[in-house]
Amino acid sequence: MTLLKSYENLDYSEALESSKEAHEWLEINDRRFGQLINGKFISNKDSKLIASLNPSNGDLLANIEIASSSQLDLAVEAARKAQPSWELLGGHGRAKILYALARLMQKHSRLISVLETLDNGKPIRESRDIDIPLAIRHFYHHAGWAQLQGKDFSSYQSIGVVAQIVPWNFPLLMLSWKIAPALAMGNTIVFKAAEQTPITAMFFAHLCEQAGIPPGVVNMINGDGNIGAELAAHKGVDKVAFTGSTAVGQSIRKSTAGQGKKLTLELGGKSAFIVFEDADLDAAVEGLVDSIWFNQGEVCCAGSRLLVQAEVAEDLHLRIKQRIKQLRLGSPLNKSIDLGSLVSKTQFNRVNKMVKDGLKHGGEIYQACDIQSEGNLYPPTLITDIDSSHPLAQEEIFGPVLVSMTFRTQSEAVELANNSRYGLAASIWSENINRTMDVAPKIKAGVVWINCHNQFDASCGFGGVKESGFGREGGKEGLYEYLKPKGLKPSSKITLSKITETAKNDAIDRTLKLYIGGKQVRPDGGHSIATFNADGRHAAYVGSGNRKDIRNAVSAASKASSWGSQSGHGRAQIIYFLAENLSVRESEWIQRLVTLCGVTKKQAKAEFDESVSRLFTYAAWADKYDGAVHNAPYRGITMALPEPIGILAQIAPEELPLLTSISLIAPAIAMGNRVVLVPSERFASVALELVQIIETSDVPAGVINIVSGNKRELAEQIAGHAEIDGTWCWADKETIASIESISAIDLKRLWVHEDSDRDWLDPAQGESLEFLRNATEVKNIWTPYGD
Ligand code: NAD
């Protein structure tokens, strides 16, 4: 007792890390940085400048030149020119250079840590022990992936020129997350650091030269959001990898619409920190220190929403307040502080205003020290007595501010955790493994930590769902973001003959209805469209769906959510049954394809056989596409689980209508999604005839829905529908541009293709793992063990 008391009275003396070497390096560079283009540092004395300041004291660190549009063009051109030989260098050649970069970063790690702290305001303890070691680990880890690329990704190739844009909260770590995998997979880069924190990127630029990166492979431009916007929309760029706010992510989704670019968006969050009554409360409090007070709360996945079971809420709040009192704020270079400076005065004012405005809606605030604006030190904060609709519970504050709410039951905890437009991360605190493993899959987020928070590693994928963006960084799953399948080639054999309407068919009039919620239903608008045989004769009428029909289909799909929690074995049985029921109608289907599509009997048989085989393939995968256990350096396991995306809309290609309908539906439902299929316009009747097979194969109502009609109109309704989680689309350029732009509203996952991008009859192109990857989203669940 006496001993404890004497500890309480202890104070810490200041232990400042020296910044001498860092300032010397800045002086050598005249405290001015331009652009790295084609291996050379380009400076222009007439450039507009941004001052990069030390946020803890306002001192000027360096002036940064804003890149001009013509400098941007030069950077993109250099990257384009350098790309083929960088890819051709091969995995081993690239591995050696990535390894050299890792070694160089390690050699200069102390200097880099100090530069990072000076520029960003984060405690030196964090840059020294977390940011920089993790950044280095990314280069080591991806040197390994470069070496393995030839064997592990032999059916993939590099994407080309990648634009990478990062925010200011983890400047060098975000750079490493982006640059290491892109380089490993043979891409070249135009990178833009955040205007507030470009210094360590400039240091890295010097290391690139020393590591032997060929000219043009890594280009770095500086500037604010304007040049960022120009870079993202640049026609010479094949992919944009962006980390930053959701609003800017949405604007990039719009500005790149129709450009055929691949996109990864790592955006904001409001992650839940869920504490059950059976949690180790002291461990949870320490977890909060690592979660919301790490990096001053300027962390996209900070556990900023505490959800605590009512029974222990009072106790936990008391412990948190006690802990807050012990947290030390101060000079970022002081080795014994817990929280440093927010990144800028602007950010300080933003956080301060958000909290003040938020409290007008109610809530009780606890801060143990006064808000000081000097040094932009914002105190660790707890806000209680609010509900989940409160602005402070919904909006990302991006500061050291924790809001707390209570729940009574496990299902209420899940509901509250998912009550957010974001879906980046969550942590679950409970000593009961059954409970944690039950809750983790129910949380809509890309990362879930069990009894820990803010764990990261290069071997584990990171990224969000919903408005936290899409795509993964890190882990094997992150590498596919920098690759594209090799050898896609449209079939030259398939040409769609032009229809000229001739005589009416003698057969009885057929009207094929829409298929929604397990029932054949008339289209809401009461309109039908005539479809024709290949010889021009009238074949049948098909329903012409509208916005209401899409809504009904989505609502039916929504009710069928238990499909996702069925076992893979259970789903496989139903897909096998579909194959069985289709195969017994072989002659009828072959005749149908001949009559409708104008193909020969042999071609129709090939399409039919491949369709049955494809159902078998995805029935087989249903219980075998089962994720991974990542090898992160900690005592625990990280499971990378492929989860269904949810409700997936699928706009089918025009050709091979039986095979393409099945090629889309089967992988999606095998992975547990529910689908709304918009079939080929010309051959809609083929997909609608499939209803007879679906109805006799025990497919639960709502799992497969088919809405025929005008592709463009239906695609646009789908893009704007908030309950659709993802969309696959084969359509013309204009339709793709339109849905890419509309879907910016809720950042839906898209997988889009121009019509006829592949030979569907070739299994290598028409049934690859690419389909399963696009039917799933990887969730990484971190589970530490031991004392
Ligand atoms: P921001 O979106 O304002 O800026 C991020 C970067 O984008 C900067 O480099 C900026 O210059 C650039 N930019 C700004 N406008 C642009 C435009 N129109 N087009 C292209 N580029 C543009 O974000 P911020 O305030 O710097 O960073 C904080 C945000 O970043 C938070 O929302 C946080 O959650 C998010 N973040 C997410 C992750 C993640 O992995 N999900 C990681 C870190 C930060």
Distance 166 CA to ligand 1 centre (A): 6
According to the 3-state scheme, what is the secondary structure of 99-164?
Answer: HHHHHHHHHCHHHHHHHHHHHHCCCHHHHHHHHHHHHHHHHHHHHHHHHHHHHHCCCEEECCEEEE
Q: What are phi and psi of 628, to 5 degrees?
A: -155, 165
- Burial of 30 from C-beta contacts in 10 A (0-12 / 13-18 / 19+): exposed
How far is 116 from 110, CA to CA, in rounded Å?
Answer: 10
Distance 230 CA to ligand 1 centre (A): 15
pLDDT of residue 6: 46
CB distance 622 to 670 below 8 Å: yes
How far is 56 from 339, CA to CA, in rounded Å?
Answer: 11
Nearest residue (CA) to ligand 1, atom 21: 228
Is the CB of 244 inside a 6 Å radius of any atom of ligand 1?
yes
How far is 662 from 519, CA to CA, in rounded Å?
Answer: 19
The secondary structure of 390-418 as a DSSP string is SHHHHS---SSEEEEEEESSHHHHHHHHH
Of ligand 1's listed atoms, the one at least distance from the Cα of 249 is: 2
Instruction: Tell me which of 134, 230, 243, 473 to substitute to probe ligand 1's pocket, judged by most ligand atoms within 8 Å of the beta carbon.
Output: 243
CB distance 280 to 426 below 8 Å: no
Nearest residue (CA) to ligand 1, atom 13: 225
Is the CB of 228 inside a 6 Å radius of any atom of ligand 1?
yes
CB distance 612 to 582 below 8 Å: yes
Distance 243 CA to ligand 1 centre (A): 5
Residue with tokens 């989940």: 388
How far is 740 from 745, CA to CA, in rounded Å?
Answer: 10
Residue with tokens 């900690």: 634
* Strand, coil or helix: 604: helix
* Strand, coil or helix: 682: coil
Nearest residue (CA) to ligand 1, atom 40: 266
Is the CB of 738 inside a 6 Å radius of any atom of ligand 1?
no
Is the CB of 350 inside a 6 Å radius of any atom of ligand 1?
no
How far is 3 from 229, CA to CA, in rounded Å?
Answer: 59
Instruction: Tell me which of 300, 354, 401 to substitute to probe ligand 1's pocket, judged by most ligand atoms within 8 Å of the beta carbon.
Output: 300
Distance 439 CA to ligand 1 centre (A): 30
Give catalytic residues, as residue numbers.
Answer: 266, 300
Instruction: Tell me which of 64, 122, 169 to substitute to probe ligand 1's pocket, judged by most ligand atoms within 8 Å of the beta carbon.
Output: 169
Query: Which ranges constitute the DSSP H helices of 306-344?
Result: 310-326
Residue with tokens 């399948």: 485
Which helix or strand (DSSP H or E) is residue 28 part of? Answer: helix 20-28
Q: Indicate the pTM of the whole model.
A: 0.96
Distances (CA, A) of 455 to 129, 450, 644, 676: 13, 10, 24, 37
Residue with tokens 């051709």: 88
Q: For the CA atoms of the chain, what is the radius of gyration? A: 28
Distance 191 CA to ligand 1 centre (A): 13
Starting at the edge strand found earlier in the chain, the sheet holding 528-532 runs: 511-512, 538-543, 528-532
Is the CB of 563 inside a 6 Å radius of any atom of ligand 1?
no
Is the CB of 232 inside a 6 Å radius of any atom of ligand 1?
yes
Distances (CA, A) of 256 to 79, 251, 468, 737: 19, 9, 18, 9
Is the CB of 169 inside a 6 Å radius of any atom of ligand 1?
yes
- Where would I find the beta strands (DSSP E) of 147-261? 156-158, 161-165, 188-192, 218-221, 239-243
What pairing do the DSSP bridges indicate for beta strands 239-243 and 161-165? parallel
Distances (CA, A) of 251 to 42, 172, 222: 29, 24, 20
Q: Which of 241, 239, 187, 237 is nearest to 76 (CA)?
A: 237
How confident is the chain (787 residues) per 10-residue block, as mean pLDDT? 47 87 98 98 96 97 98 98 98 98 98 98 98 98 97 96 98 98 98 98 97 98 98 98 98 98 98 98 98 98 98 98 95 95 97 98 93 88 97 98 98 98 98 97 98 97 97 96 93 62 59 96 93 85 96 98 96 98 97 93 97 98 96 94 97 96 98 98 94 97 98 97 97 97 96 93 95 98 91
Which helix or strand (DSSP H or E) is residue 669 part of? Answer: helix 657-670
Is the CB of 267 inside a 6 Å radius of any atom of ligand 1?
yes
Nearest residue (CA) to ligand 1, atom 12: 225
Other Cβ atoms within 10 Å of 676 Cβ, number: 28
Report the greatest alpha carbon distance in the chain: 103
Which helix or strand (DSSP H or E) is residue 621 part of? Answer: helix 601-622
Distance 471 CA to ligand 1 centre (A): 16
How far is 451 from 785, CA to CA, in rounded Å?
Answer: 9
How far is 175 from 130, CA to CA, in rounded Å?
Answer: 14
Distance 268 CA to ligand 1 centre (A): 8
How far is 266 from 240, CA to CA, in rounded Å?
Answer: 11
Is the CB of 225 inside a 6 Å radius of any atom of ligand 1?
yes
**End-to-end CA separation in angstroms for the chain:** 25
pLDDT of residue 373: 73
Residue with tokens 């996209």: 300
Of ligand 1's listed atoms, the one at least distance from the Cα of 468 is: 41
- Burial of 755 from C-beta contacts in 10 A (0-12 / 13-18 / 19+): middle
The secondary structure of 716-770 as a DSSP string is HHHHT-TT--EEEEEE-HHHHHHHHHHGGGTT-EEEEEESS-S-TTSHHHHS-HH
Q: 536 in the Ramachandran plot: left (φ > 0), alpha (ψ -120 to 50) or beta?
A: left
How far is 247 from 441, CA to CA, in rounded Å?
Answer: 28
CB distance 316 to 279 below 8 Å: no
How far is 120 from 196, CA to CA, in rounded Å?
Answer: 8
What is the token pair recorded at 11? 């104070």
Distance 83 CA to ligand 1 centre (A): 27
Is the CB of 243 inside a 6 Å radius of any atom of ligand 1?
yes
Is the CB of 686 inside a 6 Å radius of any atom of ligand 1?
no
pLDDT of residue 5: 46
CB distance 188 to 80 below 8 Å: yes
CB distance 420 to 311 below 8 Å: no
What is the token pair recorded at 204? 């890295």
Is the CB of 248 inside a 6 Å radius of any atom of ligand 1?
yes
